[in-house]
């Protein structure tokens, strides 16, 4: 192709040159297409996993904290109501913690939904 460009031309040479140019144009176009196609493909999964990873992280942490909070609240309320302090708090804080862990496992997809045998 470079030789074709350098040579000064008779007709045959010029048409060969044009053909080579158009072939090159086509190739370049194809490569451009591939690039513009592959770029969003490359970028979108990464950004979407980043975003969903962020959401997942927040979700998992709040699930655990919520379980503990509910357990603590129920324990505290039972203590006040029945006057069995500190046993309600101890038992329900532990149960709440396990509920939080169950929540996290479910949110992470390790275990199935409530009531499932998995």
Residues binding other proteins (CB under 8 A):
51-52, 54-55, 58-59, 62-63, 65-67, 69-71, 74, 92, 95-96, 98-100, 102-103, 106, 113-117
Least distance in angstroms from the C-beta of 50 to other proteins: 9
Select 13 or 49, whichever has its Cβ closest to other proteins: 49
Least distance in angstroms from the C-beta of 104 to other proteins: 10
Report how far apart, in Å, the C-alpha atoms of 106 and of each of 61, 67, 84 are: 13, 13, 33
Select 12 or 46, whichever has its Cβ closest to other proteins: 46
Least distance in angstroms from the C-beta of 58 to other proteins: 6
Select 67 or 89, whichever has its Cβ closest to other proteins: 67
Cβ neighbours around 63 below 10 Å, total? 19
Q: d(Cα 91, Cα 117) in Å, to the nearest integer?
A: 26
Q: d(Cα 61, Cα 24) in Å, to the nearest integer?
A: 55
- Answer whether 25's CB lies under 8 Å from 60's CB: no
Select 20 or 107, whichever has its Cβ closest to other proteins: 107
Residue 5, both tokens: 């460009």
């Amino acid at each position: 192709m470079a030789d074709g460009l350098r040579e000064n031309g008779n007709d045959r040479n010029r048409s060969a040159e044009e053909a080579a140019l158009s072939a090159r144009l086509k190739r370049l176009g194809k490569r451009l297409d591939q690039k513009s196609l592959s770029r969003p493909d490359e970028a979108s999964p990464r950004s979407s996993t980043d975003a969903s990873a962020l959401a997942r992280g927040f979700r998992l942490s709040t699930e655990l904290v919520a379980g503990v909070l509910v357990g603590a609240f129920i324990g505290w309320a039972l203590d006040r109501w029945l006057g069995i302090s500190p046993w309600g708090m101890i038992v329900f804080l532990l149960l709440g913690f396990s509920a939080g862990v169950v929540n996290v496992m479910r949110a992470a997809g390790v275990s199935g939904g409530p009531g499932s045998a998995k």
